[in-house]
Structures are given as C-alpha cells and as structure tokens.
Amino acid sequence: MRPATLWPAAAAAVFTAAQLALIPGTGLGWDEIVYVTQVEGGDTPVAFFSAPRARGISWLSAPVAAFTDPAASPAALRVHLAVLAGLGLLVALRAWRTLLPPAVLGTAGLFFAGLWVTLFYGPRAMPNVWCALGALAATGWFLRAVRRRPGAAEDRRAPWLAAAAVAFVAVMRPADGLWLALPLVAAALLVPAWRGHRAVPLLLAAGLVLGALPWVIEAYQSYGGPLARLRRAGEIQGGMGLRFAVDDQARSLVGRTLCRPCTGPWNHRWTALWWFLLPVVTAAGAVTARRAGRGAASVLAVVVAASLAVTYLFTIDYAAPRFLLPAYALLAVPVAEALVAAVRAVGRTRGRARVLLGGGLALLLLGHLAVQLAVAVTVTGRSRAQHQELTAVAAELHRLGVRPPCVVTGDQFVPVAYYAGCSSRQPAGGHDGSITVAGLLRLGRSQPLAVITVDGRRPPGYADGWRPAELGGGHVAWLPPREPAEPERRQDARGGRTVEP
C-alpha cells in the first residue's frame, strides 16, 4: 500500500477502533432520541422535531434504526455510525492526498480523531462529526478544483465533489453549510490565482441550496417560511446576537457536553491547555506550510475554520464542545504541518539535544493524548450511568402503570418517555410547545400521563395536587388523581414508593 493511502487508512482504522472500544453500555441521549425516532421502526413514538434541527443525521441512521430497537439495544446503531465515521474520515483525508505529504495527511487525521469530542460523538446520532468531515472534504476538493492543472481527471471531478461535500454539510446542519460555503465562494471570487474557475462558486452555491432544500421545504410546511423558522430556532437557542462564549467553550472541555449555563467553578483547567495552545501551533504550521510551498492550503483551512467557529464563539451565550468539531477538523491541517516539521527538526539534531528535544516533544504529545482519552472515558462513563438510570426510571414508570400508550412530560421528558415507550409532549412555552395544557390533560384522560421532575423541583401548576412517586436518581413522577374505581387496583402496582408532596 502506498504511503498516500496507508497514512489516511491508518488514521481511519485507529479512529474506528477507539470508537468501538468506547461504545459498550452507552445509551441514546436527548438529541439522539429526537433524530433516531424520526426513522425508527415499530411502534416507537416520534419525538418532536424542533426548528433548529435538520434531517441529515436521521437519514444516516435510518438503515439500522429502522430495523433494530435502539432503545433496548443501541449497540447496532453505535457500531454502524462508528464504522461510517471511520470511513468518512478516510474519504475526507483522501480529498487532500495530492495537496499534502502522506505524513502530514495522516497526522492531521490522527490529531482530529484523537480529540475526546471526536471520539465521543463519532458513534452518536449527532450531526457535528459529519459536518466536520464534510467541511474537511469540501475544502480539500475546492483546493484541487482551483489548482491550475488542466487535463487531470481528479481536477475535472473536484468542483463537483466540493459542491457535493457542501451539500452534505448543509443536509446535516444548514447553518454550518452556509458558513462553509461563504469563505470558499469568496476565495474563488477574490483570490487572483483562483478567479479563472468560474464554475466553482456557482457549483458551491448550488450545493448549498440543494443541501438546505429539505430544511427550507419543511420550514414552509411547519413554520410559515425560513425566516419564521429561523426566528423560532433563535428563541430555542436563547436568542442570537453579539455574545462571548469563548470562555464557555474552554470550560466545557473538561467533559461537559452542554455548558448551559456555563457557571460555577472552573475545575481541571489543564483539560483546556491544548485549546489555548491551538492558535500558536496553527500559526506555526501555516508558516511551515508556506515555506514548503503549501501555504494556500493551510491558510484556507484556517479561514474556513474561523468562519465555521465564529457563530458558536460570538453569537450564543452557551457552549457545547461538539459545535467546534468542523473547525478542529480544518485546523488539523496546519497543526499536522507543525507537528511533522517538529519531528523532522528533532531528527536533524544530534546527541543530548536530540534526546532532550525528542523526549520533550514525545512527552507533550503523549500528555495531550492521555488527557483526551481520560476525558473521553469519563464522559462515556457518564453516558453509561445515565442510560442505566433512565432505563431504571422507565421500569419504575411501568410498575406504576404508566405503560404504552402513555404520555410523559416535565424534566428529562424526551429520554424518559423514549425508554418507557411513551410519547414525549411539552406544553406551549418550551422547546416542544406542540400541545396546550388543556390538550395534554385531555390526552391524560385517555392514556396514562406522568409529569417528571428532578432534584426536588415542584411540578407545574396544572399538576398541583397530583400524587408523587419516587423513581430513583432524583426523579419523581407526578401522576393524576385516580378515578373512583382506582383504589381497587392499588394493590397491583408494585414499586414506585409514594412520597409526600
């Protein structure tokens, strides 16, 4: 196998193996449940699909989700996505194979695959890793499209593949597709050496429109148009405007998958050390690439990464590490340039200097990898514990008589309902808002209804006077008053210890 193929294949294989090692025992999270229930087979109730979401990851999960039961055993879906993510990394890296040396290409893949955020979200039904891989591929194919190498078959395919990659990202997350396409189109129009390729910006724009089309059609069907859907999406995300979330992103690297609100003490700051070094290493890599005649590739990667990151750093007031995955995938290119150059520089030294510099570099790289793996293991362990807790809560609800067909609302209503086999509904005022309180109460007269609270919270006003039952893990189910004949059946309900309101 040639080095140009071996290096990316090795990075993809390591990425896949690491994901598979972390999968066992993990369950589906809130967002995953929303995406997967759109395509899941059987009688699984479909969770509400809110305005900011797009259908791409649901379609990617469909081949397995439609024929298995991810609620009972998500392993098949996890393996499916992990293998696809490994193949996706290989495809994205190969888009750069004529642009970068094999060692740089493989190092870029290993850097991106070695981040705990990448390892955690790779096998999950979430769109961010796929946006990252699509952005990396789109930028690579764009650079191949604008290079002046007429007659090469790969160059003739490159504009179409760049547009296809933009469309893929837009299917996953239309906003990411927009912020990916904008700098690429601008580069094709403004960089003198690339202006001759007039079809490239048109194809990229067409890819963006095509990829966003399902989201736009759904916006007209459910919200009255794209602008109305964007307004609703902004409301759900707490409003869009000039905000500063850089510190929130740094805090979240300790292993907080959602930092909202991102308050409290900032513990384990060493987990964010690599993040603060990233701009320095990126700059060093861009300089190194320029000296090697590959400066355009690294500079464009940095520009596109900045475009993809800016909204998550400066327009929202919370953080989730997964939001920056597309930026990390692109910054992996100059980072790899810097790392490979550093290794080669150490190789050119002799004697004690070689030992000291080589040992220091190895210690730095191994320390970074150890931190990433430690956080990945911690976050994955938390996912396993939550899965066990939620399945136990669902079992308690069943023993209380809340069995399908049934309805769950309140705190953690989406995952609790999913594992209990119930519908998840939230009255107007929340992210769901698909039903009124009166409608919810009417629904509760025809099937079992439970309002879930956690950590000692009181139920909403309409549930005042309802009977509470502890479910474990700080969860309490509030159940409507029984009908007059209900006391005769009271002895049959086992578990779910009744508590005082």
Query: How confident is the model over 73-109, as pLDDT tens digits?
Result: 899 999 999 999 999 999 999 999 999 999 999 999 9
pLDDT of residue 161 exceeding 90, the answer is yes
Tell me, yes or no, whether 93 and 164 share the same domain: yes
- Is 284 in the same domain as 236? yes
**pLDDT score at 483:** 63
For residue 375, being part of any structural domain is answered with: no
State whether 328 and 397 are in the same domain: no
Q: Which residues contact 195 (CB under 8 A, 6 or more apart)?
A: 188, 189
In a domain, 377, yes or no: no
Q: Domain range holding 400?
A: 383-492
Q: Are 51 and 143 part of one and the same domain?
A: yes
**Residue 372, domain member (yes or no):** no
Tell me: the pLDDT tens digits for 419-457?
Answer: 999 999 998 767 788 889 999 999 999 999 999 999 888
pLDDT at 482 over 80: no
Q: Burial letters for 443-463: b for 16+ Cβ neighbours within 10 Å, e otherwise?
A: bbeeebbbbbbeeeeebbebb
356 is a domain residue: no
| Residue-wise pLDDT tens digits, 288-347 | 999 999 999 999 999 999 999 999 999 988 999 999 999 999 999 999 999 999 999 999
pTM (predicted TM-score): 0.93
Same domain, 39 and 149: yes
* Token pair in block for residue 275: 């993040």
Q: Are residues 338 and 411 in the same domain?
A: no
340 and 403 in a single domain? The answer is: no
Query: pLDDT of 257-298, one tens digit each?
Result: 999 888 888 889 999 999 999 999 999 999 999 999 999 999
Residue at 76 is within a domain: yes
Q: What are phi and psi of 10, to 5 degrees?
A: -65, -45
Name the domain count of the chain: 2
Whether residue 212 sits in one domain with residue 160: yes
CA 356, CA 351: separation in Å to the nearest integer?
9
**321 in helix, strand or coil?**
helix
What is the C-alpha to C-alpha distance for residues 363 and 368, in angstroms, rounded to an integer? 8
- For the cut 70, the answer to whether the pLDDT of residue 487 exceeds it is no
Residue 305 included in any domain: yes
Residue 304 has which token pair? Answer: 């596109």
Tell whether 307 and 444 lie within a shared domain: no
Note the pLDDT of residue 432: 82
Residues 253 and 337 in one domain: yes
37-46: per-residue pLDDT in tens? Answer: 999 988 889 9
Q: Is 250 exposed, middle or buried (0-12, 13-18, 19+ CB in 10 A)?
A: buried
What sign results for the dihedral spanned by CA atoms 186, 191, 193, 198?
positive
Burial (CB count <10 Å: 0-12, 13-18, 19+), residue 364: middle
Cα–Cα nearest to 211, from 112, 313, 135, 109: 135
Is the per-residue pLDDT at 207 higher than 50?
yes
Instruction: Say if residue 497's pLDDT is above 70.
Output: no
Whether the bond between 201 and the residue before it is cis, its omega within 30 degrees of 0, is: no
On the question of pLDDT at 13 being above 70, the answer is yes
Q: Which of 348, 366, 398 is the last residue of a domain?
A: 348
CB 272 within 8 A of CB 252: no
- 355 lies in a domain? no
Taking residues 123-135, report their average pLDDT. Answer: 98
Helix, strand or coil, per DSSP, at residue 426: coil
387 and 330 in a common domain: no
For residues 365-373, average pLDDT:
97
pLDDT higher than 60, residue 151: no
In a domain, 364, yes or no: no
Q: Is the pLDDT of residue 492 over 60?
A: no
- Considering the chain, what percentage of its residues have pLDDT values greater than 90? 81
